[in-house]
Chain A
Amino acid sequence: MNIVVCVKQVPDTATERKLRSDDNTLDRDAADGVVNELDEYAVEEALKLKEAHGGEVTVLTMGPGRATETIRKALAMGADKAVHLSDDALHGSDALSTSYAMAQVLKKIGFDLVILGSESTDARTGMLAAMLAERLGTPQLTLANKVEVEGGAITVQRLADYGYDRVQATLPAVVSVVEKINEPRYPSFKGIMAAKKKPVETLAIADAAIDAEQVGLGAAWSEVVDFAAAPPRTAGTIVKDEGDGGEKAADFLASKKFI
């Protein structure tokens, strides 16, 4: 099975994240870059499927040069090779552009299964997997907390408000996974060393027949008009529990008409 797992480098949520004042895009230099956490579950799921069914796991990322750190992490976990879509023309791409560019690469490299994390911790739109399925014309099996493949059939448990849906389709398909689907492995020392020798193919947009008019900030279908740091919440009242903390909290809730 030819599995492609999409990963994204995102600013570490533990550091202060900013938008750039010149073009209102994410300031990727202001914070440390880390692998988007949910993507680690996607990598793990891809590796487990490969272990069970054979095949190959290819890591796909779109991002600036430093995103190679993210690729190496996924390779160290056990993926076989990587494709890095990197081009200055992609800077500022919104979800529509990103899905278009990624879909072009996926068409070029081919796949039986594409696996993504259900959202990134930076933009958090949660749309990319659905958009890829739409663009590729393949079944959408998203928000999965369980994935089973048997022959050419795939079944997932899709999280729903009331529990989950069991969803079936035939491969090729696009899957997104949620946290807790598995326990992502830590790269071993051997894995880290091996990752340095694994092939990473870098593509510019022209290599994947990506139309420059359809990507980047200039092409964006939506825009940030302006932004500002959120005003700090006005300092609240903090009381120490002297045996009447619950009563005082009840007084506060009553003053706000919650009770």
Chain B
Amino acid sequence: MSDILVLVEHAEGEVKKVTLELLTLARSLGTPAAVWAGPGITAEAKARLAEYGAEKIYVAGSADIVDHVVAPKAELLAQLVAGKSAAAVLVAATAEGKEVAGRLAVKTDSGVITDAVGLSEGFVADQSIFGGGVNVHSRVRKGTPIIAVRPNSTAPVPAAGAGAEEEVAVELSDVAKAARVVERVKQEKGARPELTEAAIVVSGGRGVGSAENFSVIEGLADALGAAVGASRAATDAGWYPHQFQVGQTGKTVSPQLYIAAGISGAIQHRAGMQTAKTIVAINKDPEAPIFELADYGVVGDLHQVVPQLTEEIDKRK
């Protein structure tokens, strides 16, 4: 079977979970080949990629690749698509992953599908569009299929691959080096998982009432090892930083469990979380549309219900 290139998402030498999901998906469709872009690969990272089925690991370790915006990764992948006769390319459907996919599609004259939540034979992708209202099957008609897959679309399952490493030298064009990263600014992140990658997300909305009260949401998130999200009403009010906004104009999440506290569930919000596997809602208003989506709903004051839930979780650990 031909190579299916999987662009590895990594931070500080560690492979992110979404990459293990992509390798798991790739195994069912061909021979997974992991592509590591940038310096800093570790023995642990290689072992992890092999553990989840990478038969090959292409390593392009030049710092130039990550010190310039997006274009170098697309050039690297385009070189591998041509040189290794890849059958398809999978990337994580993060904001940057989709940009890489877009440039790669132009370079290789190939079709591209974004935000796939499933992938089957013939690279037919499942997508959920219009805020989760319509399910679509799409496929690429020309070139090498390039598919951006949403995190949490598949459960990662280990199945050892050979993990044969191959160094890749990339000759970056001047154009690819045109936008230069001059500084990386790391902001408070804490120990919580990343919002788009997290298996569990706890979000607060208008019902939270203030910035201080978000500690209630954070408490529940920490008890569950979850990421914290916020509705637009909450970020607009300045109660929680904008980068945590889940919804139409914010982040799209697709976790195993989504807990919405004090969120009414307007389309703006639903568009960002409707593909969550299990949804729990806590809201004072029994008519709130979020209850239409909820697998489990509690009609009540989140300031009572959430702390009690947090306490119960801590008790049962």
Using a CB–CB cutoff of 8 Å, the interface residues on chain A facing chain B are: 13-14, 16-19, 37-38, 94-96, 99, 118, 121-122, 124-131, 133-135, 137-143, 155, 157-170, 173, 179-180, 220-230, 232-234, 236-241, 243-250, 252-254, 256, 258-259
**Would you call B249 and A253 a contact (CB within 8 A)?**
no
Number of A-B contacts (CB under 8 A): 281
Q: Which residues of B286-317 have CB atoms within 8 Å of chain A's CB atoms?
A: 286, 291-301, 304-313, 316-317
**Would you call B313 and A259 a contact (CB within 8 A)?**
yes
- Chain B, residues 67-99, CB within 8 Å of chain A (1/0): the string is 001110010000000000000000000111011
Of chain A, the residue at the smallest CB distance from B74 is A134
A-B contact pairs, 5 of them (CB 8 A): A17-B134, A130-B70, A246-B311, A253-B309, A253-B313
With A161-B94, A237-B297 known, 19 other A-B pairs at CB within 8 A are: A13-B267, A18-B130, A99-B102, A127-B98, A134-B71, A134-B106, A140-B71, A143-B96, A158-B181, A166-B184, A167-B180, A179-B249, A230-B128, A230-B134, A236-B279, A236-B291, A240-B286, A259-B316, A259-B317
- Chain B, residues 122-162, CB within 8 Å of chain A (1/0): the string is 00100011111111111111110000000000000000000
Q: Which residues of B26-74 have CB atoms within 8 Å of chain A's CB atoms?
A: 69-71, 74
CB of B273 within 8 Å of the partner chain? no
A227-B136 CB under 8 A given contacts A126-B114, A248-B298: yes
B134 partner residues in chain A, CB cutoff 8 A: 17-19, 227-230
Of chain A, the residue at the smallest CB distance from B100 is A130
Using a CB–CB cutoff of 8 Å, the interface residues on chain B facing chain A are: 11, 69-71, 74, 94-96, 98-103, 105-107, 109-115, 124, 128-143, 175, 178-187, 189, 194, 200, 224, 235, 242-243, 245, 248-250, 252, 256-257, 267-268, 271, 278-280, 282, 286, 291-301, 304-313, 316-317
How near does chain A come to B237, taking the closest CB pair, in angstroms? 13
B183 partner residues in chain A, CB cutoff 8 A: 165-166
Q: When chains A and B are docked, how far (Å) is the Cα of A240 from the Cα of B140?
A: 48
**Would you call B138 and A223 a contact (CB within 8 A)?**
yes
How near does chain B come to A227, taking the closest CB pair, in angstroms? 4
Partner of A238, one of B105, B111, B286: B286
B309 partner residues in chain A, CB cutoff 8 A: 245-247, 249-250, 253
Dominant secondary structure at the A interface: mixed
A243 partner residues in chain B, CB cutoff 8 A: 304
**Would you call A254 and B316 a contact (CB within 8 A)?**
yes
A142 partner residues in chain B, CB cutoff 8 A: 69-70, 99
**Would you call A96 and B106 a contact (CB within 8 A)?**
yes
**Would you call A168 and B182 a contact (CB within 8 A)?**
yes
Partner of A17, one of B133, B181, B182: B133
A179 partner residues in chain B, CB cutoff 8 A: 242, 245, 249-250
How near does chain B come to A233, taking the closest CB pair, in angstroms? 5
How near does chain B come to A259, taking the closest CB pair, in angstroms? 5
A124 partner residues in chain B, CB cutoff 8 A: 114-115, 129, 252
Q: When chains A and B are docked, how far (Å) is the Cα of A198 from the Cα of B297?
A: 53
How near does chain B come to A162, taking the closest CB pair, in angstroms? 5
**Would you call A228 and B187 a contact (CB within 8 A)?**
no
